[in-house]
Amino acid sequence: MSVNTHAAGMPRHAASPPPLDPGQRRKQARQVRLGRLDLKMSPYLYVAPFFILFAVFGFFPLIYTGWVSMREWGLIKGDQGFVGLQNFQEVLADANFWNAMLNTFGIFVVATVPQLLLALMLANWLNRKLRFRTALRMGILLPNITSVAAVGIVFGFIFADRYGLANWVLQSLSLDPVSWRGSRWASWTAIAFMVDWRWTGYNALIYLAAMQAIPRDLYESASLDGASPTRQFWQLTVPLIQPTILFTVIISTIGGMQLFTEPLMFNYGAAGSGSGLENFQTIAMYIYTTTFEGNFKYGLGSAMSWLLFMLIIFFALINFLLVRRSLKGSVK
């Protein structure tokens, strides 16, 4: 107890401390305890919302999905019992799943590589002394804050086969119209346009932040040594923000593996089942259609979700190892 009172800031050697009656002493002690509690508890309280939200909307669904993935479960008919790894076997033997996998990777590569390059160029441009710099920097984030569904609908009209804007432009240049949903490359390209339109600015801002942390005198001495701006960019800027580049690669990979809304909207809102969308159906779309359309196979969809989750973990690990190696490299 005495330690407590001391901690509360009451000097022990005070000339004649007025005697406290028991009620006051209890009150004081309670305040002290509350103060200590506040000190120790508050940080937990402040971070709690994230953990509670994560537990409810992240961790629990993850575990529950894992449980469902080992059961035969029709969405409407309900739980039909434990089947072990049968769902996983079925998924791995499903040609449509591998087709969706190919599409997901294809769109990811076609979308992400130009996107990150473009973002890098944009960031480098914005890193210079420009007029209206702040407005421009904010402006490139605008596509990112528009609703993805709205973007999808507009792009769906642009890339319509018969009466779309893109084909109209092609035809007025006397080129052949493209069947945008009819071929793998055309559909991947069209979807990549949507993805890039939304995310290039976002990545550019991240790069810009990293570029601003590079000391100016490095550039000054490089200029004195006669390095051209292009050379400065490739040999100074890019190596120095390498960890950031790898970070954006990880984020884009996770986003790319879960690609759903853009291809869905590209197909005017139909996730379809299998055959209709073989050119551009992504894994997320296939999961959706397996679970919520057709046969309503909740267990099978859950197994696919878990495979996708493990795939993302796998890629995140690879990226993580790359980052570590590159960091070690830059320390040397």
Residues forming the site for another protein (CB under 8 A): 33, 36-37, 40-41, 44-45, 48-49, 52-53, 56, 75-78, 156-157, 160-164, 179, 182, 268-270, 272-276, 292-297
Q: Phi and psi at residue 268, in whole multiples of 5°?
A: 55, 40
Collapsing DSSP to helix, strand or coil, 297 comes out as strand
Q: Residue 13 or 40: which CB sits closer to another protein?
A: 40
Collapsing DSSP to helix, strand or coil, 83 comes out as coil
Q: Residue 132 or 163: which CB sits closer to another protein?
A: 163
Q: Residue 161 or 227: which CB sits closer to another protein?
A: 161
CB of 104 to another protein, least distance (A): 20
CB of 39 to another protein, least distance (A): 11
Q: Which of 273, 298, 312 is nearest to 94 (CA)?
A: 273
CB of 163 to another protein, least distance (A): 4
Positive or negative: CA dihedral 225, 230, 235, 236: positive
Q: In angstroms, rounded to a whole number, what is the distance separating the alpha carbons of residues 137 and 266?
A: 29
Where is 202: in which H helix or E strand?
Answer: helix 184-212
Q: Within 13 Å of residue 41, how many CA atoms lie on the same side as its CB?
A: 6
Q: Residue 106 or 164: which CB sits closer to another protein?
A: 164
Q: Residue 158 or 238: which CB sits closer to another protein?
A: 158
CB of 294 to another protein, least distance (A): 5
Residue 248 in tokens: 């954006």
CB of 3 to another protein, least distance (A): 13
Collapsing DSSP to helix, strand or coil, 82 comes out as strand
CB of 17 to another protein, least distance (A): 24
Residue 281 · residue 99 · CB < 8 Å: yes
Q: In angstroms, rounded to a whole number, what is the distance separating the alpha carbons of residues 331 and 321?
A: 15
Q: In angstroms, rounded to a whole number, what is the distance separating the alpha carbons of residues 303 and 92?
A: 10
Q: Residue 114 or 272: which CB sits closer to another protein?
A: 272
